[in-house]
Chains A and B, each alone.
Chain A
Amino acid sequence: MWAAALIAAAIPGLRAQEHVVRVTPAELTLAVGQKAQLKAEVVDVGGRPVDDAQVFFFSRARRAVSVSREGELLARKPGTHTVIARARIGGKRGPQATVTVTVPQPTPAKVALRGAPKQLYAGTTVRVQGEVLDENDIVRDDLSVALASSDAGIASIDAFGQVTAVAPGAFTLSGTGGGLTTESKIQVLANPVRKIDLTAAVQTARTGDVIRFRATGLDGNGAATDVPVHYSFYAAPDDTLGNAATGQIQQDGRFVAETPGLYTIVATCGDVTARTTVRCSQRFPQKKKLVKVGHGLVADAHTSDLWVWEGIDGRDYCVTGTWGANGDALFWDVTDPSRIEQIAKITVDARTVNDVKVSEDGTLCVISREGASNRKNGIVAIDVRDPRNPKIVSEFNDELTGGVHNLFIDQGHVYALSAGRRYDVLNFQNANAPSRVGTFQLFEPGASIHDVWVTDGVAFSSNWRYGVRLVDVGNGIAGGSPSNPVEFAKYAYPSGWNHAAFPFTSPDTGKFYVFAGDEAFPYGLNVENDPTYPRGWIHIIDFSNLKNPQEVARYEVPEAGTHNLWIDGTTLYVAYYNGGLRVVDISGDLMGDLYRQGREIAWFLPTHPKGKVANAPMVWGPQPHKGHIFFSDWNSGLWAVKLVDDKGRRR
């Protein structure tokens, strides 16, 4: 009963040595939803109550077990939780006692066998996963399920739940976990397949090309069956010098090679196999490279985003932001990319102008603000009809006071991030008097929006661990509009690094993808003196089925980290921070790791000895424009490069 007194914490400098808190009961077990009352008193060394002492309670896991200040407990979630009874003696902090509250997991209610078929053909394998569910149909992750076959001569099961049909007959598949057992009767049928017809869509291909193979099991009469066929391959790569894995095959028959060589695809059904071989050659025998055309050095501040546009005078311009500095937006004439010229600067009350965008007609620039001295950040609209004399026309900070990190302008509407978990849609058709017309917010607990990109009436937001959200803001697919944004598709991946998104409809396959970029700094960010080593990659998500998007491919440069991206035609441009600017071929079907497949066309590492961090590439954002690729570099400003054939070796 007085066990709590024994574990009363000693608080240095207080009267913990002289007094203890006694709690009744000292520990207890409660079911979810059950209540209990704790009682506490403070006693001296002789066990006598202390007159001027008071005890209050608090929980160190209030969402799992709550407690009133008077000690009434309510169990909410399973686990072992701690409640503190803390004393005040004479108005000062006194000793405390710890009460352990155990809330057991709900009772297991059933075992489910996921993936268990009704019948199998002999010689084929399926994977079955057993789960224990509680009375609320929630999986008990703390309990495992052991699978067993009633007749190993009919079907065998390995340690990973793979059930292989051995011979015709019936067997019982049982799953045991949490004190429960469930059974499933499975019939093993004789395998009618006597031959496999295996065809390849092509005989030769390039690395990175997705080749489709079709394998059909034929019975003794040559008729097609529905018996599943398993695909595998072996390779004879041209490069035999310690090469790593060389390709990837899916069980729907799609194969992609990463390195040049011969690839033999093997189709298996029971004891019947078929083979066919294809040759995959190097994707780009004619090498290309990116060459510097021009550079506008920014050495006194870090550079953030860029936007390049054709002005109403027909010349080409660019605006860049600044990061952790003086609130500047820099305007450049880039008509001749070899002579990039800074032509104007707008300074606003901010430390970071993280994002900059220009309207489709080239007349209005909007910039985001963070770090305003009056903490009314919001956005600033700038008339750029004459980019040499940009003029601030309005500010909008209503409900955007906490800072706008990213924004987008589309069809007279500005999409501005705020509060970390929503973007507001602002009508800027009259830039002198903007107004809020809509809002899109993530309501999931702890959800956070980082960026938004709008095209064809769809807003693609990037939301860290909540992934990519597709919202109708005028496309019509879900009845949405700028004043009524309607979400219609989403996809999230586990790392929680989703930072940017760019849509892409493949002209070759018709598939609709979203390329989702990571941002991650596991080794920190060096603002001065030293280079930075970010991580992350481009996730390629097939949204062709909006209800069931699939992450099908990636582009991952080793030892580097992604930031912003752009797609033009079938070319992907990636600002790969310390990995520089990367240009990637995304034609055809996409599967696997595009980097390893040799789809990268060229790369460029911008460095400058007078950069904010000297000689340290840190590419922030790319934008192709009229045959050149412009990009901003966090350490060295604005660059223009051009993709050319690599004519050969030189120093």
Chain B
Amino acid sequence: MRKMMCVALTGAVTAGLAMSSMAAEVIKIGGIGPTTGPAAIYGSNVQNAMEIAVEEVNAEGGDIQFELQFEDDQHDPETSVNAYNSLKDWGMQILGGTVTTNPCIAVGSEAVSDNMFMLTPSASSQDVISIGDNVFQVCFTDPNQGRASADYISEMELGSKIGIIYNSSDAYSTGILNTFLAEAQEKNLEVVANEAFTDDNSTDLTTQVQACKDAGADLIFLPIYYTPASQILKAANDMGYETKFFGVDGMDGILSVEGFDTSLAEGVMLLTPFVATSTDDLTVAFVKAYQDKTGDIPNQFAADAYDVVKVLYKACTEAGVTADMSASDICEALKAVITSDGFSYDGLTGESMTWDASGAVSKDPRGMVIQDGVYQPMD
């Protein structure tokens, strides 16, 4: 057995060595995200959407052609760095990733030392873009979402006693919570209950809902993804607790959860850049393409990922990027273009999106409310 193991190992090493970069005709885009494990839904949505976008780009038949390679990271920083290294061996020139925040921070510093241009669809923490000047986001930065939500609630006078249920083991959720609390204090919003859960104790969320109910919260802020949110809505309904719910972009997708009773989500408000039921041409075409490919309805991760590829396409075109350029040269060219005054992009997740040197995107969140099982603009 020992011998066999040794042989297997040497084989593995040589297999790794045999891989070498090949002649470039197309620009190689890498993607990283969880396609296995508990967070797999986010990574698979991103992967599918990126594939769709790349097909569209290539079908246009322009000078710029993309080739996409997507690697799984199981939402684990170590595996994510491994995936990044694999992609580098493959010859990746631009990274469209990574999907989740903690892995993105680990990969980000690798990308900084390689000077690899990195545009993440969905790793929304402030800490992601502060790693280096080559890291950009398509999604809102968490602090902006937290602030915008508090402002919105205060302006529209949606609630006077705020309850919060958030995921304390999730970087996205804690990031939004932090600025929400700060801004709520500023705007004199009264936070009566601030309840957390973790990935490990999220089987039962009724206690948190009960705590909000007992504290008399008339609006519950949910800076979390739609899966636990659907559980919270059900728990509140079972308890006969009538309150308003206010979510962030992670809430999108709740209406397309298979088997979910959408009447529970009636009246839920959320700030989101994308809803799959929008009737504009771009969204309709994208949702159709996505459904044709996978049979599912895309969530906001997919929309962000689609925009990642399209932004890269636009930026590459404007910067005159060619396939024979090195990753570092491409990075410099893209950085210059994407932060330039004239550059703006209209996509699924926002119109006239622009970027500044910090790497954060500037776009308007849309306030949405769920009525009769569909999203309606709030104002």
Do A and B originate from a single complex? no
Which residues of B does A touch, CB under 8 Å?
A: none
